[in-house]
Amino acid sequence: MATRKVVSVVGAGNVGEHVASLLAIKGFADVRIFDIPRKEGDKVFEPVKGKALDMKQMISAMDIDAKIDGFTVTPDGDGYEPIVDSDIVVITAGFPRRPGMSREDLLEANIRILSTIISKVRQYAPNAILIVVTNPVDIMTYVAVKLSGFPANRVIGMAGVLDSARFKTFIAEELRVSPKDIHAYVIGGHGDEMVPLISISNVGGIPLKDLIPKERLQEIIHRTRFGGGEIVNLMGTSAYHAPAAAVVDMVEALVTNSRRILPCSVYLDGEAGEYYGVKGFCVGVPVKLGTNGVEEIIKVPMIEEEREMWERSVESVRKSVEVAEVMLGEKSPS
C-alpha cells in the first residue's frame, strides 16, 4: 500500500488553521502544523498544539481517518525536526500589516520569517513542494524560489485560485448558475491590477461577454479586484475560508496528481515558457498541477485590452521584486 502524503503547514493562524482543518476533513494526507508560542504575561501558550488536538477530536467526531499533529517552533527556527520528509509545505506564516508599518517594513519582516522557515525546509524536507501563501504573495514566492534553490516547478504561490473563486462567486450570483459550470481565470499579480481573462471565460461553454452586459461585468471585475478589502472592511481582519479552500484545491491537485489547470503564481524564466515579456520573477498564470508540482505553464491567448491590463499588473510586481532583491542582498540599492 502506498504511504500517505504528508502536508505540513507553517503558520497556524487564520488561514493555516483552516487549511489544516479542511485537509484533515478531506483526509487525503497526514497534516502537521507549526507555529510560534504566544506569551501573555508570565503564561506561555502553545496554540498550535491546542489547535491540532482540537482538530484531532473534530475528525474523531466526524468518523474520519486522518492524522494531524501540532508543533511549537521558535522564530529562530528551533523545533522544525517533525517537518522531515514532508511532501508539501504550505507557508502562511507572517505578520499582518500593522498601523504605521510601511509595505517595505512588512516585506522585510516577512522575508526574514520566510528565510528561517525555508532554511529548515531545505534541511529536513529538501524534496518538498512549497506553496507560498504569505503576502505579498508574488514577491514572497519569488523570494522562496531564490532562498530555497528549489527548481521553479516546486515553488508555487497561491493567489489566482482565490481571485478566480471570488470572480466565479459573483458571476454565479449574477447569472444564478452553479459556480461549477463557470470557467473564469484571473491571472497577473495578486493586487488591484489582477487580470480577469474575459475573452476566454465561459459559463457552460457560452462566452461570458455574451451573458453579462459590459458595464455590469466591469462592476463584477471591480468587486473581484477589491474582494479581499471588502471582507477586511466587514470583519476587521483578512479573509481565511476562501484562501484556505484555494490552498486545499492546489494541494489536492498535487497529491492526487489530477493535472488540474489552476492559476498560480510561478517563476517565469522568460525562456522555454516565454510569457508575454515576463522574465525572472513570479506572477499568476494558469498551470497544470501534478505530482511534480507545476507540470506545465499554460500560455493563454489575450486580447489587446487584456494585454494592457497584464502589462500594468506585471509592472507593479516587477517594481516590488526589485525592492525585495535589494533586501535579499542580490542587488545594491541604486
Q: Which stretches of the chain bind ligand APR, using CB under 6 A?
A: 10-16, 35-36, 73, 75, 92-94, 96, 113, 133-135, 238, 240, 243
Q: How far is the CB of 91 from ligand APR (least distance, A)?
A: 9
Q: How far is the CB of 257 from ligand APR (least distance, A)?
A: 26
Residue 162 or 221: the one with the smaller Cβ distance to ligand APR is 162
Q: At what angle do helices 214-225 and 160-175 cross, to 10 degrees?
A: 140
Q: At what angle do helices 241-255 and 14-26 cross, to 10 degrees?
A: 50
Residue 78 or 274: the one with the smaller Cβ distance to ligand APR is 78
Considering the candidates 18, 183, 190, 241, report the single residue annotated as catalytic: 190
Q: How far is the CB of 26 from ligand APR (least distance, A)?
A: 19
Q: How far is the CB of 197 from ligand APR (least distance, A)?
A: 23
Residue 75 or 277: the one with the smaller Cβ distance to ligand APR is 75
Tell me, rounded to whole angstroms, the distance of Cα 155 from its chain centroid. Answer: 10
Helix locations, the chain, DSSP H? 14-26, 47-61, 103-124, 137-148, 160-175, 214-225, 227-235, 241-255, 304-327
Q: How far is the CB of 73 from ligand APR (least distance, A)?
A: 6
89: which strand partners? 8, 130
Q: How far is the CB of 236 from ligand APR (least distance, A)?
A: 12
70: which strand partners? 33
Write out the DSSP string of 194-248: -EE-GGG-EETTEEGGGTS-HHHHHHHHHHHHTHHHHHHHHHSS---HHHHHHHH
Residue 35 or 87: the one with the smaller Cβ distance to ligand APR is 35
- Torsion, Cα 292 197 304 157, to 10 degrees, reads -40
Work out whether the CA dihedral 143, 124, 149, 132 comes out positive or negative: negative
Please state, in angstroms and rounded to a whole number, the distance separating the CA atoms of residues 272 and 297: 10
213: which strand partners? none
Residue 13 or 286: the one with the smaller Cβ distance to ligand APR is 13
Please state, in angstroms and rounded to a whole number, the distance separating the CA atoms of residues 73 and 81: 10
Residue 15 or 66: the one with the smaller Cβ distance to ligand APR is 15
Q: How far is the CB of 141 from ligand APR (least distance, A)?
A: 12
Instruction: Name the grid cell of 254.
Output: 498535487
Instruction: Name the grid cell of 241.
Output: 475560508
Residue 158 or 220: the one with the smaller Cβ distance to ligand APR is 158
Known catalytic residue: 183?
A: no
Asked if the peptide bond before residue 136 counts as cis, ω within 30 degrees of 0, the response is yes
| Residues identified as active-site | 190
